[in-house]
Chain A
Amino acid sequence: MKGETLTRADLAEGVHTEVGLTRQDCAGLVERTLELVCEALEQGEIVKLSGFGVFQVRAKRARMGRNPKTGEPAAIDPRRVISFRASQVMKAKVDRAQAQAGRH
């Protein structure tokens, strides 16, 4: 699949070019944005970013699994995982672009 990998640095640079704040402010704002989302999720909050998607924490029960390497049964502890559901807008954009590129 073609396409570049976007990082924090790219986001900060993009914000700097488009909004025109200092590079230092932009880097800090990218960092704080991600951190505030993490903090909300830690609190068990749903994070809803309209047009983008929804992050939600889900509790998984304990279950028996297997070590895929050895095939031995192994207990999996209860844990909290994050589910992300992309918005309809994002889903449509991604699917349309990939279809036009003939990638599926």
Chain B
Amino acid sequence: MIKSELIAKLAIENPHLTQKDIERVVGVILDRMTAALVTGGRVELRGFGAFSVRARPARAGRNPRTGESVDVRAKAVPFFKSGKELRARLNLDGDSA
């Protein structure tokens, strides 16, 4: 499913709203989530999961083509941990969720 398909589904469920409005809604949702992470915050959506920012330390990497050693600086990366409920839904047959 891509963004436009998500928007189309929401539009069908909400015939009283315009497609344009729904496009803006999805845009604002994603933008606000990104903005929270940019300021070093978290996004916590019960049942779905949580987004946070994790620090990756600097390391010595390698240029895969030449094998040369290169310094990779420390980085901050977005991280997602799925929620309990979603994990359970993906593993309905087992008890391992």
Contact = CB atoms under 8 A, between A and B. Distances in A.
Interface of A: 1-8, 10-11, 14-15, 18-19, 21, 25-26, 28-30, 32-34, 36-38, 40-42, 45-53, 55, 57, 76-82, 84, 86, 90-91, 93-95, 97-99, 101, 103-104
B37 A90 contact: yes
Given A94-B78, A104-B75, A33 B45 contact: no
B38 A94 contact: yes
Contacts, number: 171
A36 B9 contact: yes
Contact of B24 (A19, A40, A81, A104): A19
Contacts of A99: 76
Interface of B: 1-3, 6, 9-10, 13-14, 17, 21-22, 24-26, 28-30, 32-34, 36-49, 51, 53, 55, 74-80, 82, 86-87, 89-91, 94-97
Contacts of A14: 28-29, 32
B2 A82 contact: no
B96 A76 contact: yes
Given A81-B87, A95-B77, 6 more contacts: A3-B39, A6-B36, A41-B86, A51-B30, A79-B94, A98-B55
